[in-house]
Structure 1
């Protein structure tokens, strides 16, 4: 049995200060965090970072045995308002520049929405896809100049909503500085959940070395809906997924996402049925 490195999204911990966040993380075998400052207002952070603040946060985390594996910058890179879209892209580029002060984690985002109101069927249009390509190509160019790496995360309600569209994007923006977050649950629907093992295989086979980290969550099908739940609480092919990734990516970064605090310990116990967890 090989092992993986386990982390959690920092904003999934119920902390109200950085000190409390670090103490809570220390209760579990976490070695890294998915750290999205804009989602950490409860501990006094916001989306704006400076080199000094970033380095301070890095040192505080490091003193507690933690690193930032993913620096989350979840801005809408296809916002319908060109001025807002430009501001969002500049903000992401700022994070690419600041990543060095966190010891060079991956800067990550989803692919947004062409509607100001979130979900829209217009996200699935070719026009939306073309806008993603334009925005991602720009971010790739910036990342290459800075020597940093960024990742996208496909999702059902976003313009990059299938593996086929993800492949097209990577073919059009062929940058060594662009990676992908592997989260099969993001692509599972009421129509394809019975083929989830095939989806897992296709994801791993198609993107291989492009995959930089894995999200761990679960899903249930209820009343003709696919609902996301904590890892270990649903119908996801957990054993199949974990064994598939550790066979190909030993000691890889895996992160609990969207987990409820009371579900963390049971999720760790479930995970340990299939894999060892690195403690450093």
Structure 2
């Protein structure tokens, strides 16, 4: 049977300290976290400046619990219309890249943002916004190459990078060996294209086979002509087909439960283990 390396977003566990987080994670067959300090204020992190010392202290404790960091999440709005805000966020991302080695050479990852904080907007799909994302991403790529680290972007509906075409254009414009892809098929599925989910997934896997470094595992349900996100195993994603595809194409790939509550984890695990084995090392 093929294997995957299963993890969870650290902020999806209801911990109020790092020790509690690690204890909770050890209840399940997780080998790694997607660890986003900006979403972990309950652990005393939040908008904290990461230093080698702080990163080492966190990672050393994780290692005592046989846990790694697959993705070091750094929420960054690559398309922010305010140049000063965008500059501050890019500097923070560069700082995360500079300390990634102290998290076991974690891959630093982000979605690509939005020009508006108020939900869906067609402005995200305008060409000047795409060019802004290219400029931001190119800067991060140059820094990543200098530091010898990997970073990844995650396409998603209502983001400037939101489908196969815009993802392809970005990778053509920013041709860097240090730039990778976090693939979340549910982020690309809408109420209008969900019946083509197999084609969407196949196209991404085929085109970006050398770029995909991690996959998010969640599900979706179409209700009243809207796409609602739900825990893995509870929706309309063609799960067996998807899991068998990524496990065969990317053995031992980092896979992360996303948007899941602790009570939903056992059912999701049972569903996942119908088709793959999970790494224990």
Q: So what's the TM-score if we normalise by structure 2?
A: 0.98
Q: Deviations over 1:152-207 (max 9, x none)?
A: 00000110011110001001101000000011110001111111111111010010
> Is the contact made by 1:79 and 1:116 (CA closer than 8 Å) also made in structure 2?
no
* Post-superposition offset of 1:38: 0.6
**Which residue is 1:25 aligned to?**
25
In structure 1, the residue matched to 2:107 is: 106
Take 1:116 and 1:22, find their aligned partners in 2: how far apart are those partners? 33
Q: How does 1:32-181 map to 2 (within 5 A)?
A: 32-48=32-48, 49-181=50-182
Contact 1:12 1:259 in 2 (8 A): yes
- Is the partner of 1:113 in helix, strand or coil? coil
The CA deviation at 1:76 is 1.1
> Superposition RMSD on alpha carbons, in Å?
0.9
The Cα offsets for residues 31-53 of structure 1, whole Å up to 9 and x where unpaired, read as 00000001011121123211111
In the alignment, what sits opposite 2:183?
182
Q: Aligned with 2:58: secondary structure?
A: helix
State whether residues 185 and 219 of structure 1, in contact with CA within 8 Å, keep that contact through their aligned partners in structure 2.
yes
Partner residue in 2 for 1:257: 258
- Contact 1:80–1:116 (CA under 8 A) maintained in structure 2: no
SS at match of 1:46: coil
Alignment of 1:196 onto 2:197: yes
| C-alpha contact (below 8 Å) 1:11/1:39 kept by paired residues | yes
In the TM superposition, structure 1's runs of 4+ consecutive aligned residues that sit over 2 Å from their partners are: 115-120
Length, aligned pairs only: 280
Q: CA deviation at 1:274?
A: 0.7
What TM-score do you get using the length of structure 1 for normalisation? 0.98
Report SS of the residue matched to 1:159. Answer: coil
Query: For 1:75 and 1:171, how far apart are their aligned partners in 2?
Result: 21
Unpaired runs of at least 5, structure 1: none
**Alpha-carbon separation, structure 1, partners of 2:200 and 2:120:** 23
Q: CA deviation at 1:221?
A: 0.2
Q: CA deviation at 1:118?
A: 4.9
- For structure 2, the residue ranges without an aligned partner over 5 or more in a row are none
Structure-1 separation of matches of 2:271 and 2:119: 34
